[in-house]
Amino acid sequence: MGIVRQVADDQMARKRDSLRHLSFRPSRSPATTNMSPAIHDIHIAQTDALPEPRLLRQELPAGETQAAFITAARAATRAILRGDDDRLLVVVGPCSIHEPASALEYAQRLRQLAAQLAGELLLVMRVYFEKPRTRMGWKGLIYDPGLDGHGDIGEGLRQARRLLLECARLGVPAASEILDLVTPQYYAELLTWGAIGARTVESPLHRQMASALSAPVGFKNATNGSVSAAIDAIHVASQPHRFPTISLEGKAVVITTTGNPDGHLVLRGAGDGPNYDAASVGLAALALAGAKLPARLVIDCSHGNSSKDHRRQSGVAADIAQQLVAGSHNICGVMLESHLVEGRQEIVDGRHGLRYGQSVTDACIGWDSTVDVLQELATAVIRRRAAPIRIGPLGGQ
């Protein structure tokens, strides 16, 4: 037995020696002889510093008058969303801002029109700086202010903040989609209304970020048409959250939010069809009521509701107007993509050769059509006031 045990022990020792030779040993090339192989930032080509949010706010501060205006505009928006004000909220403006000069001209025109229609409509200018892309394309003024691919984000943030301050100075409330999770620290306090888009409405990070925003936030139905995704997002954003972000000093911090009580549904249609019609609005209102949320919503006249044909926006708005005349109080807002010049154009050589006042992203209706649509909606609000109020989820009461 002793001899057998000795033989077995010798076999095990030889096997251990064999495994030692087979154990993992990183290969050494001449480039890694004196250093460990890189395991971080492998795909980072360049790192550029951004200014602290606090410094940009100091450079371009919101004055007392501007802050008071934004506060009042948010209060008016909340009153409409909650049904305390029977006017219609209308978020109207360019698909995206690529040209601050034409955006300011648009704001000046909108201010004059808003004064004429103030009894029926609360006009909020669409001032979108970031564009979600299914694949690739120009990503917005913040990411590429030169439209040349250089990506001077610091300058983009500066131009965005400057434009929002000018809107507030003019007395024009501003709305924007919140796409990036960092950039809102640079400008979001200047917004009257914010949006979470169809591509990000299911994102947990965007939902918790919305819980921290100071402005009311509209959640669009998902690209597949799902209203339940937006309803879930409204619930999530209304709750307190604790998550990491950057502070005004640019430091990594953890914040605790109180939740945003002013989330609401935006119907924007889908690839398989629109959802602005009375039947779709009724179903959405029932879904909201079933989720113990106010049965009030905003309708986007563009995107899936116009089948991505800007010329159909006027027809969508006309259908909405008829629903208002019929007494619907579910509809509390409308969105329109509109610019000084109808249509769209391609970016070929940066800013060179672009037509002033025409979109470089989605095609928009022109200014004259915009005025017609807004006047039609204002008339519909007047007529709704004379119509019997429809009671229950389908009537929004």
SS3 381: helix
pLDDT of residue 220 exceeding 90:
yes
pLDDT band for 11, please (50, 70, 90 cuts): low
DSSP-derived secondary structure for 114-136: HHHTTTTEEEEEE-------SS-
Q: What span, in angstroms and rounded, lies between the C-alpha atoms of 150 and 88?
A: 40
Which residue has better confidence, 21 or 271?
A: 271
Task: Look up residue 349 and give its two tokens.
Answer: 């050589």
pLDDT of residue 349 exceeding 80:
yes
Q: What domains sit in the chain, N to C, each tagged with a CATH number?
A: 88-386 (3.20.20.70)
pLDDT tens per residue across span 330-343: 999 999 999 999 99
pTM, two decimals, is: 0.89
pLDDT band for 172, please (50, 70, 90 cuts): very high
Q: Could you tell me the CA-to-CA distances from 325 to 144, 321, 336, 397 in Å, in that order? A: 43, 6, 19, 16
**Confidence at residue 388, expressed as pLDDT on a 0 to 100 scale:** 74
**Confidence at residue 137, expressed as pLDDT on a 0 to 100 scale:** 82
Q: What span, in angstroms and rounded, lies between the C-alpha atoms of 224 and 83?
A: 29
Task: Look up residue 53 and give its two tokens.
Answer: 């949010």
pLDDT tens per residue across span 173-209: 999 999 999 999 999 999 999 999 999 999 999 999 9
**Confidence at residue 207, expressed as pLDDT on a 0 to 100 scale:** 98
pLDDT of residue 25 exceeding 50:
no
Q: What span, in angstroms and rounded, lies between the C-alpha atoms of 357 and 344?
A: 10
In the chain, where does DSSP find H-type helix? 2-22, 53-59, 64-81, 100-116, 153-170, 184-187, 204-210, 227-237, 278-290, 313-325, 367-386
Query: How many CB atoms are located within 10 Å of the residue 340 CB?
Result: 21
Kindly give the pairing relationship between strand 263-267 and strand 252-256: unpaired
Q: What span, in angstroms and rounded, lies between the C-alpha atoms of 179 and 109?
A: 27
pLDDT of residue 18 exceeding 90:
no
